[in-house]
Structure 1
Amino acid sequence: MSKVERRSEKHGVSWEDEYGYVQAVKHGDTIYLSGQLSHDGEELVAPAPVDSDGTVTDFGNMGAQLRQTYANAAKLLERFGASLDDVVEEVIYTLDCDALFAVAGPVRKEAYGRPDPLVASTMLGTTRLAFPEQLVEVKFTARV
């Protein structure tokens, strides 16, 4: 029995080492991406405003965060010679399903480059994500 190739990639951000994980693992012909979020290096892109308790006060940056999230996923996939065209499943975690649903269609269609993304997609509401200013996180599975 031959051993299946296994390779990983990181973005190089501090929380990877702090938490202890990689951003992506390719195992055989499948690429698993950890939940991606809207960052550019160590900085969140379009952070949501929060009050003194860390509660989000405005969900208006949902589209910008989602757009950057797909861009970050595309960068990781590219390192494996893949693209968003190879994604077969996504799971979208959000603090507000209504705010996400209002922007997700156009952003997803733009990211996947087609009016009918051929991706199994699940949306889940949650009370908190990794960072207080984070509105959305997306986990991807791709086949190559």
Structure 2
Amino acid sequence: MAASQPHGKNTAYWGVSWEEGYGYPQARKVGNEIYISGQFNHDEEGNLVAPAPLNSEGKPSDFSSIGEQMRASYDNIAKLLALYGATLDDVVEETLYVLDMDAAFAVVGDVRKAAYRTERPQCASNIIGVSRLAQRSQLIEIVCKAVIGSRAD
């Protein structure tokens, strides 16, 4: 399932089961602002990309796939932004929620720079350590806000 806008041009969905269960769109456009709900490591069919292995308590036991998960999250953000004619260049703020700060810091710089295609992404960025995310094998989730026409020169 590709990202789509079945309920009008201002909201976007992936068509995955958790949207209906939780009751939310993946993105919402208001004026020239786009709010992207937390994106994580799933493909367009809702399958997890590079899921972390879980221990006997159902918690991630290895954080080495956080870079792959982060790339998948940025890919999802880019696809949603494209529905509104926007790109990552329009992102003005992002928040990364991570399970392991050390694992995140080991890869976040390179992955962000590749996603934004620049050595100095022009958006405010926050990184917050959390104890759990929506999917048990999920290591990162990224939320962002974009403003169409805000691209830095």
Q: TM-score, normalised by structure 2?
A: 0.89
Deviations 1:28-52 (A, max 9, x none): 0100000000101221100000012
Q: Choose which of 68, 73, 76 in structure 1 pairs with 2:72.
A: 68
Map of 1:15 onto structure 2: 18
Give structure 1 regions of 4+ aligned residues with deviation exceeding 6 angstroms. Answer: none
**Deviation of the 1:138 alpha carbon:** 0.3
> Equivalents in 1 of 2:19, 2:93: separation in Å?
23
Question: Which of 87, 96, 107 is matched with 1:103 structurally?
Answer: 107
Report the Cα distance in structure 2 between the residues aligned to 1:88 and 1:128, rounded to whole angstroms: 26
- Secondary structure of the corresponding residue to residue 21 of structure 1: coil
| Corresponding residue of 1:50 | 54
1:1-144 equivalence runs, <5 A? 7-40=10-43, 41-144=45-148
- Cα distance in 2, alignment partners of residues 60 and 11 from structure 1: 27
User: Quick one: distance in 2 between partners of 1:29 and 1:79?
Assistant: 13
Instruction: Kindly report the root-mean-square deviation, in angstroms, between the aligned alpha carbons of the 2 structures.
Output: 1.2
Q: How far does the alpha carbon of each residue in 1:90-125 deviate from its partner, in whole angstroms, 9 at most, with x for none?
A: 000000111001000000000000000001000000
Q: TM-score, normalised on structure 1?
A: 0.95
Aligned length: 140
Q: How far apart are the structure 2 equivalents of 1:125 and 1:68? A: 19
Query: Secondary structure of 1:122's match?
Result: strand
How far apart in 2 are the matches of 1:136 and 1:50?
Answer: 15
Counting strand residues as a fraction of each chain, which structure ranks higher? 1
Q: Give 5+ residue unaligned stretches, structure 1.
A: 1-5
Matched residues, percent identical? 52
Whole-Å separation in 1 of the counterparts to 2:142 and 2:122 = 16
Q: Give 1:53 deviation, angstroms.
A: 1.3
SS at match of 2:81: helix
- Is there any run of 5+ residues in structure 2 with no aligned partner, and where? 1-8, 149-153
For the residues of structure 1 that align with 2:127 and 2:58, how far apart are their CA atoms?
Answer: 23
Q: SS at the partner of 1:91? A: strand
